[in-house]
Amino acid sequence: MREGEGTAKAAAMRKLSALLLLTLAACDQPAPAQRVDLAEPRPSPPQVMMESPDTSEGFWSVADNGHAIRFGNAGEPPLLTLDCILREGAEPQMEIVRHAPASPGLTALFPIIGNGVRSRFMADAVLDEGEWRWEARVPASDAKLEVFTGTRQILATLPGRGMLDIHGSRIPGEFVTWCRAGGEIRNVQPETEEERAENQLDPAYK
């Protein structure tokens, strides 16, 4: 072998060895990290269908501050709340709350029938004071709230969360009227025991 050829072959071998070392070193490097967007929406867990609660003994109660009324059974959490939101210089708002399990990012159509009116409210899943629930907010002047302004039976159905059969009462209508007036008229008074018994039993409200 000629001296020049031997020198060239040795140089080629050195280059090949160096290339192999670089390749092995690259294999030992950790894979590049992938950025994950935590804000990216994720699928919600499957919803469990709920049966309609028994509301035969349900009644309306007035919140201590007078700015909300709640429908539910004695000694149990409320099933439905009407909350009047009053802010200086702003039109009164009515918030309709269906206390039922909800998942983040969901919306639902909340139909309510009563007093000769059929209304549909768009409700959003909201986390409030540790409770996931459904909330719909409209101006107090909204005509859809006429569904509450009477003394007849009200049916409120949230898909997958059952139907609330709410017996007739003067309380919702008086509350809506009070809210629309900006709280400037006589506040709603709680139901008496006589009224409660009459509303729960009288078939005329059906």
Domain with residue 122: its CATH number is 2.60.40
Distance CA 174, CA 67 (A): 12
DSSP state letter for 152: S
pLDDT of 129: 82
- Boundaries of domain holding 86: 59-199
pLDDT-based confidence at residue 44 (cuts at 50, 70, 90): very low
For residue 113, give the H/E element and its range.
strand 107-114
Residue 49 is predicted with a pLDDT of 81
Let me know if residue 19 belongs to a domain.
no
Using only C-alpha atoms, what is the Rg of the chain?
33
**Is the pLDDT score of 110 beyond 50?**
yes
| Residue indicated by tokens 């867990």 | 45
Closest CA relative to residue 162, chosen from 73, 82, 48, 46 = 48
**CA-CA distance, 174 to 149, in Å (whole number)?**
7
Instruction: Please tell me the distance from the alpha carbon of residue 187 to that of residue 133, in angstroms, as a whole number.
Output: 27
Mean pLDDT over 22-42 rounds to: 43
pLDDT, position 74: 94
Contact between 108 and 115 (Cβ < 8 Å)? no
pLDDT at 156: 98
Higher pLDDT, 28 or 53: 53
Number of domains the chain is built from = 1
Q: Please report whether residue 48 resides in a domain.
A: no
pLDDT tens, 130-166? 889 999 999 999 999 999 999 999 999 999 999 999 9
* Ramachandran class of 162: left when φ > 0, alpha when ψ lies in -120 to 50, beta otherwise: left
* Residue 113 covered by a domain: yes
